[in-house]
Amino acid sequence: MKKLCVILVILLAVGSFAFAAGGQQGGGGGAAASSALIGIAMPETHVLRWTKDGASLKRFAEARGYRAEDQYGNADQNLQNTQIQNFLTQGAKAIIVGCVNDGVGAAVADAARDNVEVIAYDRIIPNSADYDYFITFNNFKVGEFQGQGIETGLDLKSATAANPKYITLFAGSPTDGNAFFFYDGAMSVLNPYIKSGVLKVVGPYPETSADRANFQRIATENWQAPVAKTRMENLLNNDARNVTLDAVLAPNDTLARAIIEACLADAKYAGGKLPVVTGQDAEFDSALSIKNGQQYMTVFKDTAKLAEAAIILADQVLKGQAPNIPGATLASGDLLSIGDTGKKVVKAYLLEPIAVYKNNINVPVDAGFFTDAEAAQLK
Ligand code: GAL
């Protein structure tokens, strides 16, 4: 009898230890995390990449045992603020925000008051000191790739001022901090050619985004394709009426395709004589356009990797761990300003973009960025 009691005590002791260890090994991903909600607030859906981002963020959050809900702001900051408030009401522990503009600051301040972590996702949250982390790509390098696309496409290294090439410039939304880095990265490549007279600008020419007046004249409110198309049509009928454009700096694919549409309606550029047009986001329609020789290049930003990195960051922050995100580097040196909100320099973690041309269109395909049906059309 005595022996039986001893065995029972040992079994009870082992059982209770295993249960406790199991709870800890759950890495906090046990009951607490499964009930924890992560809110996902994306800016819009008229630029297709954000629907992919939202779906990826939800998938990776749920894979780590969190509840997750994705909402889209339809490029309306008031709507997005309401969505963020709803996440707070639901008791979200973290909110991942791709903002529309700096109006998001009020909602971020509310989150801070509720001790809810806000992570800026691929767009800085400007004029706010109420959050600590930003995860994005090296947006200056995105622009450099666009500038190098034009340098290559026009063979500027061999061009001469006696026979200059002509370019017109577009920028992204002035409400989007990224747009300034994209533009400055591109102009860091193109300005030397403009200064030497090899490249001539048709239309407004802000040397850098610091020239806010001229930057505003080439910017595209809320990345709206119709705005870019109308501006390109006006350029073709006015400033660029008596020249043949050799290149257009387009800051992303949505705008690139709108600009190409305007060019194709102009006899000067129809029939395969399009200018070199840059882009960004490796959207399928643009990948197809590049394959068919219309758009010249894009910049692939693997938003599945960005989403996974954002969820790893959120998970580590919620567990009080020092962030350690595979594939992302903490901005430093010249890139520190990527995290400058205007009120605080937040920790900006950067992933690397990839320049994509006709000869390496397989890169986003091989990364699984497209559906099988889309990939089949790009092979
Ligand atoms: C930017 C983003 C780009 C671009 C744009 C359109 O903030 O970094 O990928 O596509 O938004 O939404």
**Tens digits of residue pLDDT in 300-331:** 999 999 999 999 999 999 999 999 999 999 99
| Nearest-CA residue for atom 12 of ligand 1 | 47
Closest CA to 347 of 326, 327, 325: 325
> Which of 136, 139, 178, 300 maximizes ligand 1 atoms within 8 Å of its Cβ, making it the mutation to test the pocket?
178
- Over residues 210-258, the pLDDT tens digits come to 999 999 999 999 999 999 999 999 999 999 999 999 999 999 999 999 9
Closest CA to 286 of 317, 252, 312, 239: 252
- As a whole number of angstroms, the distance between CA 100 and CA 44 comes to 8
- As a whole number of angstroms, the distance between CA 107 and CA 104 comes to 6
Confidence of residue 35 (pLDDT cuts 50, 70, 90): confident
**How would you classify the pairing of strands 94-97 and 67-72?**
unpaired
Domains, the chain, in order of start with CATH, read 36-131+302-351 (3.40.50.2300), 139-300 (3.40.50.2300)
Q: Is the shortest distance between the CB of 49 and ligand 1 below 6 Å? A: yes
Q: Is the shortest distance between the CB of 253 and ligand 1 below 6 Å? A: no
Q: Is the shortest distance between the CB of 136 and ligand 1 below 6 Å? A: no
Atom in ligand 1 nearest the alpha carbon of residue 47 = 12
- Over residues 79-124, the pLDDT tens digits come to 999 999 999 999 999 999 999 999 999 999 999 999 999 999 999 9
Atom in ligand 1 nearest the alpha carbon of residue 182 = 8
More confident residue, 166 or 270: 166
Atom in ligand 1 nearest the alpha carbon of residue 136 = 8
- As a whole number of angstroms, the distance between CA 308 and CA 16 comes to 35
Centroid of ligand 1 to alpha carbon of 269 (angstroms): 27
- The DSSP H or E segment spanning 134 is strand 133-137
Average pLDDT over residues 45-64: 95
Q: What's the pLDDT score for residue 34? A: 56
State the pTM of this model: 0.89
Q: What's the pLDDT score for residue 375? A: 97
Atom in ligand 1 nearest the alpha carbon of residue 301 = 9
> Which of 176, 181, 356 maximizes ligand 1 atoms within 8 Å of its Cβ, making it the mutation to test the pocket?
176
Centroid of ligand 1 to alpha carbon of 90 (angstroms): 28
> Which of 49, 138, 182 maximizes ligand 1 atoms within 8 Å of its Cβ, making it the mutation to test the pocket?
49
Please state, for a pLDDT cut of 70, what percent of the chain lies above it.
Answer: 91
In the predicted structure, residue 23 carries a pLDDT above the cut 80: no
Q: Is the shortest distance between the CB of 178 and ligand 1 below 6 Å? A: yes
- As a whole number of angstroms, the distance between CA 64 and CA 114 comes to 23
CB contact at 8 A, 357 and 370: no
CB contact at 8 A, 37 and 90: yes
Confidence of residue 2 (pLDDT cuts 50, 70, 90): low
Q: Is the shortest distance between the CB of 67 and ligand 1 below 6 Å? A: no
In the predicted structure, residue 5 carries a pLDDT above the cut 70: no
| Nearest-CA residue for atom 9 of ligand 1 | 281
In the predicted structure, residue 66 carries a pLDDT above the cut 70: yes
Q: Is the shortest distance between the CB of 223 and ligand 1 below 6 Å? A: yes
The amino acid present at 33, given as its one-letter code, is A
Q: Is the shortest distance between the CB of 300 and ligand 1 below 6 Å? A: no
Centroid of ligand 1 to alpha carbon of 253 (angstroms): 9
